[in-house]
Amino acid sequence: MNSFEARRPAAIILAAGYSSRMGETKPTVSVEGLPMLLRAAQTFVDAGIDYIIVVTGFGAEKVGGLAGAHGMHPVYNGRFSEGMFSSVLAGIGAVPPDFDAAFVLPVDIPFVSPATVGATRLAMGARPIVVPRHRGAAGHPPLLHRAVFGSLGGWRGPDGLRGFFRDHESDIGYVDVDDRFVLRDIDSRADLEQILLDRKST
């Protein structure tokens, strides 16, 4: 049986979307005093992940500038208009060869616990993909071992990363976490207001 370890994982934050429902560039929206991008990145920093790739597209100059100013590594996805999976591929393609795995997190899921990141990393072993799960529902950020980067890059099926996971179910291990924020994304101002209220009640 193969054994997969994430001795040195990188993180990929997907920050290329149009932010149409938010009405402004989502990665720069202030969330509890920090731009959403920095709030998402802090999760990884606090979990000991110090190489963070930020995939940019819409608003690339602004988002990339923010990322670079805080020690992250912006990568422009010239195909961002094709959807999120194109940004996943751009991020995976930018992972340096000395990193053996990568977390993938949309910028609008900024409140994942660092403990969830740590538990997901530790859960990698028999299978090359680990997905955190809360109350039976798969969430973010999945962790992908370099062993699947090639097949991911060649995926041409439907539904992007979700479709890839469905097609590679036998490669996925799950780790149950007590972290409801693995499931909570922020598409609109109303979403943001609600998630901030929920955090205060935690």
Rounded mean pLDDT of the chain? 94
Q: ∠37-41-45 over CA atoms, to 5°?
A: 160
pLDDT at residue 2 is higher than 70: no
The per-residue pLDDT for 23 is 67
pLDDT bucket at 22, cuts 50 / 70 / 90:
confident
141 preceded by cis ω (within 30°)? yes
pTM: 0.95
> Which residue, 23, 107, 118, is CA-closest to 67?
107
For tokens 């049986």, the residue is 1
The per-residue pLDDT for 192 is 86
Domains along the sequence of the chain with CATH = 9-200 (3.90.550.10)
List all residues 6 or more positions away from 201 whose beta carbon is below 8 Å from its beta carbon: none
pLDDT tens track for 116-162 = 999 999 999 999 999 999 999 999 999 999 999 999 999 999 999 99
List all residues 6 or more positions away from 88 whose beta carbon is below 8 Å from its beta carbon: 12, 14, 55, 104, 152, 160, 161
CA distances from 146 to 32, 78, 137 (A): 34, 23, 25
Cβ atoms of 36 and 191 closer than 8 Å: no
pLDDT tens track for 48-90 = 999 999 999 999 999 999 999 999 999 999 999 999 999 999 9
Half-sphere exposure of 198 (CA within 13 A, CB side): 14
pLDDT at residue 184 is higher than 70: yes
